[in-house]
Structure 1
Amino acid sequence: MSTQPPATGDWHAAWSAALDALEMDVATAEEMLSGDHRNQETPAVTGAWTPPADLGPLPLDLRPRADAILARQLAVAKEMVLIMVGNRRQAAMIARVETGSDGAARPVYINCAA
């Protein structure tokens, strides 16, 4: 069973819809990273984006939009990595404060005078 590529208008509409979905995902991620939303409950991830089947090549007039969405996705990914690194550093610092140690072995003295 072979599938035909969408007609030109349908092909453009299919790509526009796919880019709309990507743009909504990146907007949601950007909103979650904003200062107002960092401490709030975040929605569950619905899964990785997969391109619609038989989408065909990207129409040339949609290339600038696709490039802009990709740039936003990369910026969000970079910010997420920086936030995760900061969270790990903060957790390590809090662990040191709670234990009073930097993780190194502490000397133990035993009073053997009797």
Structure 2
Amino acid sequence: MLAVAAPDEDVWHARWEQALHDLELDVESAERLLDAAHLPDVAEVARAAAWRPPSGLGALPLPLRDRAQALLDRQLDAAARIAQAVVVSRRHLHATRTIEARTPAVPVYLDTQG
């Protein structure tokens, strides 16, 4: 005899699938930005800052465990890459400021023959 999922179990599973799908889209967006070395626009930053975890989902359905784990792994990888990009950006900014802060070189010799 086949076990048929209860209607609210189907809704529960569908809500979790949608939540994971939304998170996957966010990770894909972050990965694209990192790959393109592109700064997000203000609207993207505002949307990301306004994100709130879905409420009332309950425990993760067991069939979605592997998908959720893969998503977590991608999120952690993206976070590490973002942290690395921040360090590189700060080093570049420091180098740029160092170059800008130098006074222009004054020639020591004057070529009167040339």
Matching residue of 1:19: 20
Q: C-alpha root-mean-square deviation of aligned residues, in Å?
A: 2.0
- In structure 2, what is the Cα distance between the partners aligned to 1:39 and 1:28? 11
Amino acid at match of 2:33: M
Normalising to structure 2: TM-score of the pair?
0.73
Amino acid at match of 2:27: V
Q: List alignment gaps of at least 5 residues for structure 1.
A: 1-5, 102-114
Superposition map of 1:64-75 within 5 A? 64-75=66-77
Percent identity between the aligned chains?
Answer: 40
1:56 to 52, 55, 58: 58
SS of structure 2 residue aligned to 1:27: helix
Higher helix proportion, which one? 2
- In structure 1, what is the Cα distance between the partners aligned to 2:79 and 2:55? 26
Q: 1:61 to 1:79 in 2, by over 3 A?
A: same
Matching residue of 2:31: 30
Amino acid at match of 2:73: A
Runs of 4+ in 1 over 3 A off after TM superposition: 39-43
- In structure 2, what is the Cα distance between the partners aligned to 1:48 and 1:40? 18
Deviates more, 1:39-48 or 1:57-66: 39-48
- In structure 2, what is the Cα distance between the partners aligned to 1:54 and 1:81? 31
Deviates more, 1:38-47 or 1:74-83: 38-47
Matching residue of 1:108: none
Matching residue of 2:92: 90
